[in-house]
Structure 1
Amino acid sequence: MQFRTQIPILKSGHAIDYDAKVVSLGSCFAVNMAEKFDYFKFRNSCNPFGILFHPVAIEKLVRYAVLGKLFTAEDIFFHNERWHCYDAHSDLSTANQQELLENLNSIVQNLKQQLVEASHIIVTYGTSWIYRFVESDAVVANCHKVSQKQFNKELLSIAKIQESISATVELIQSINPKATFIFTVSPVRHIKDGFVENQLSKAHLISALHASCDFKQSDLSYFPSYEIMMDELRDYRFYNEDMLHPSAVAVNYIWDCFKEAHIGSSAFETMEAVSTIQKSLQHRSFNPTSESHQKFEANLRAKIAKVVLQYSFMKF
């Protein structure tokens, strides 16, 4: 007897292997998946501008990168003793104005190169809710704890999200027509927006994705992260203590589903070898000078050398 339902996921026709270069953009769940890519030593870049939750924020920074648009002093502001940019996450904020501008423009240039070279673009949308800065009427990616009175909160329409998705794809394809896109909706629940509002937000994202993207195309696919969390893992034991974010067990399960669908079987042996090395590197000996530990260290160095000989980009 089956006590849960499993979501069927089509096998990708453009599998990720160790020759791939992955660029991940989007919500904090994009970071969860990117950490798995990092662990297994794939070539992966994630959120150079920090976590981005909604489609318009992602589209805007992709546009900056593709068109080579640079940030100026007008794009940043001083608040709570730090310089911030409404288009980037607060992780990039600094106490020095020039440093922030230089960082932002360096990231723009690097992101363009990453998009040009990428074999796979993974986009994770988190919410349809946006904040519009009243003074400029511009949609922001992050409010940086500026008073909420200075923003209007809006729900992006399905049509507007469709436009943003299409623009993002077209911009990247203009510099990299061979890139493969994987879209997903974050399973993180944005309860601060309200329970009903969170479901409405996710529904807009899912509706827009399926309306604007023809997932029958070989270079476009949809991975059901949100659906796996809501249906296969429909129990609070699969959430962290905040009951909003997936637990480590849930992240591992969703990663395994992703692996089966989007990572080529030719990479599995190397992934296993890398995992063995990673676990060995975390080992702490009670007696580092013992003969057994010296043999362990020598064996580990040999395993690393063997993998690096095949994939020189790997660093341990």
Structure 2
Amino acid sequence: MQFRTQIPISKSNNPIDYNSKVISLGSCFAENMAEKFDYFKFQNVTNPFGIIFNPVSIEKIINRIVREEFYTEKDVFFYNERWHSYEVHSDLSNSDRQELLETLNKAISETNKKLKEATHIIITYGTSWIYRNLESDEIVANCHKVPQKQFSKELLPIEVIQKSIQNTIELIQVLNPDINFIFTVSPVRHIKDGFAENQLSKSHLFAAVHFNLKSNINNLKLEYFPSYEIMMDELRDYRFYAEDMLHPNQVAIDYIWHKFSENYISEESVSTLQEVSEIQKSLRHRSFNPESDQHQKFLAKLQQKISAIQEKWTHIKF
């Protein structure tokens, strides 16, 4: 008997392996998945401009990266004793304006290079709700706790999101025509927008993403991973949520990664992934008696395993 509904997931046409170079962009769920890529020692770059939730702000950043449009003094502002950019997350904000500009422009150059080399890009959309700066009439990626009266809150229409996603695809393909796209919608619910409003927001994302997948149905380089659907159906229980009852907890993240790796990681890479996992667990092992012969033998054996895997995959570092 089946006591839960299971989401059918198609095997990827272009699976990720240890030669692949992955870029992950988008919401905080992109970071959850990227932590898994890092743990298993895949070649992965995550959110060089911090967490970004809405499709238009992701498109803006991609446009800057592809065209190498560097930030200047007019693109940053001073508030609360720090310099910020409305296009990036507050994690990058800095008390020194020049340092902020250097950080942002270095990220543009490095990400441009990484994007040219990448085999896969994973884009996670979080919300259709956006904040528009009333003075500049620009959509912002982050408000940086600037008073809300300086922004209008809007729901992006499906047509605008569709076009933004299409623009994002085309921009990236200019730089790297061979790259593989994996789109997903974040399973994190944005309840501060309201319960019905969150559902509306997610539905706009689904409609826009699937419109692009359907209109590019013969393009095998565009794929969709149902992380939101797995969370809502297969993990339909509060035991799979963090304390805020909104974010997936570690058990849920592990399960969604398991479903992802089953379908998007190449079968040839599974043995390496398991070897890396064993090494990671051994590195976390704490001995009661570090000086004992038994522990020294354990360390020597562990070093042999690390050397063997690094001989095969030179990018892997522990």
- More displaced 10-residue stretch of structure 1: 68-77 or 212-221: 212-221
Unpaired stretches in structure 2, ≥5 consecutive residues: none
> What's the secondary structure of 1:44's corresponding residue?
strand
Aligned with 2:236 (options 214, 234, 237): 234
Corresponding residue for residue 80 of structure 2: 80
Question: Once the two structures are superposed, what CA deviation does each residue of 1:157-216 show, in whole Å capped at 9, x if it has no partner?
Answer: 000000100000000000100000000000000000000000000000000011122355
> What's the secondary structure of 2:161's corresponding residue?
helix
Is 1:175 matched with 2:184?
Answer: no
Note if contact 1:133-1:140 (Cα within 8 Å) is conserved in structure 2.
Answer: yes
Rounded Cα–Cα distance in structure 1 between residues aligned with 2:242 and 2:49: 26
Corresponding residue for residue 16 of structure 1: 16
Rounded Cα–Cα distance in structure 2 between residues aligned with 1:9 and 1:216: 18
Question: Once the two structures are superposed, what CA deviation does each residue of 1:84-136 show, in whole Å capped at 9, x if it has no partner?
Answer: 11000010011111000000000011111111000001000000000000110
- More displaced 10-residue stretch of structure 1: 280-289 or 116-125: 280-289
Rounded Cα–Cα distance in structure 2 between residues aligned with 1:49 and 1:211: 27
Corresponding residue for residue 282 of structure 2: 280
Corresponding residue for residue 160 of structure 1: 160
Corresponding residue for residue 103 of structure 2: 103
Corresponding residue for residue 38 of structure 1: 38
Structure 1 ranges of 4+ moved more than 3 A = none
Corresponding residue for residue 112 of structure 1: 112
Note if contact 1:18-1:267 (Cα within 8 Å) is conserved in structure 2.
Answer: yes
Rounded Cα–Cα distance in structure 2 between residues aligned with 1:43 and 1:138: 34
Note if contact 1:29-1:188 (Cα within 8 Å) is conserved in structure 2.
Answer: yes
Question: Once the two structures are superposed, what CA deviation does each residue of 1:275-296 show, in whole Å capped at 9, x if it has no partner?
Answer: 0000111111121111111101
When the two structures are aligned, how many residues end up with a matched partner? 316
Letter in structure 2 aligned against 1:83: W
Note if contact 1:62-1:168 (Cα within 8 Å) is conserved in structure 2.
Answer: yes
Is 1:67 matched with 2:44?
Answer: no
Letter in structure 2 aligned against 1:69: E
Letter in structure 2 aligned against 1:86: Y
Note if contact 1:62-1:171 (Cα within 8 Å) is conserved in structure 2.
Answer: yes
Q: CA deviation at 1:217?
A: 2.4
> What's the secondary structure of 1:16's corresponding residue?
coil
Corresponding residue for residue 258 of structure 1: 260
Letter in structure 2 aligned against 1:224: P
Rounded Cα–Cα distance in structure 1 between residues aligned with 2:217 and 2:64: 26
Corresponding residue for residue 246 of structure 1: 248
Note if contact 1:37-1:44 (Cα within 8 Å) is conserved in structure 2.
Answer: yes
TM-score scaled to structure 2, two decimals?
0.98
Letter in structure 2 aligned against 1:134: L
Rounded Cα–Cα distance in structure 2 between residues aligned with 1:26 and 1:282: 30
Question: Once the two structures are superposed, what CA deviation does each residue of 1:16-35 show, in whole Å capped at 9, x if it has no partner?
Answer: 00010000000000000000
Q: CA deviation at 1:249?
A: 0.6
Percent sequence identity over matched residues?
Answer: 62
Rounded Cα–Cα distance in structure 1 between residues aligned with 2:155 and 2:110: 31
Note if contact 1:75-1:85 (Cα within 8 Å) is conserved in structure 2.
Answer: yes
Corresponding residue for residue 185 of structure 2: 185
Letter in structure 1 aligned against 2:187: P
Note if contact 1:215-1:221 (Cα within 8 Å) is conserved in structure 2.
Answer: no
Note if contact 1:92-1:100 (Cα within 8 Å) is conserved in structure 2.
Answer: yes
TM-score scaled to structure 1, two decimals?
0.99
Corresponding residue for residue 150 of structure 1: 150
Q: CA deviation at 1:254?
A: 0.6
Letter in structure 2 aligned against 1:299: K
Rounded Cα–Cα distance in structure 2 between residues aligned with 1:218 and 1:260: 18
> What's the secondary structure of 1:24's corresponding residue?
strand
Rounded Cα–Cα distance in structure 1 between residues aligned with 2:94 and 2:291: 44
Across the aligned residues of Structure 1 and Structure 2, the Cα RMSD in angstroms comes to 0.7
Corresponding residue for residue 139 of structure 1: 139
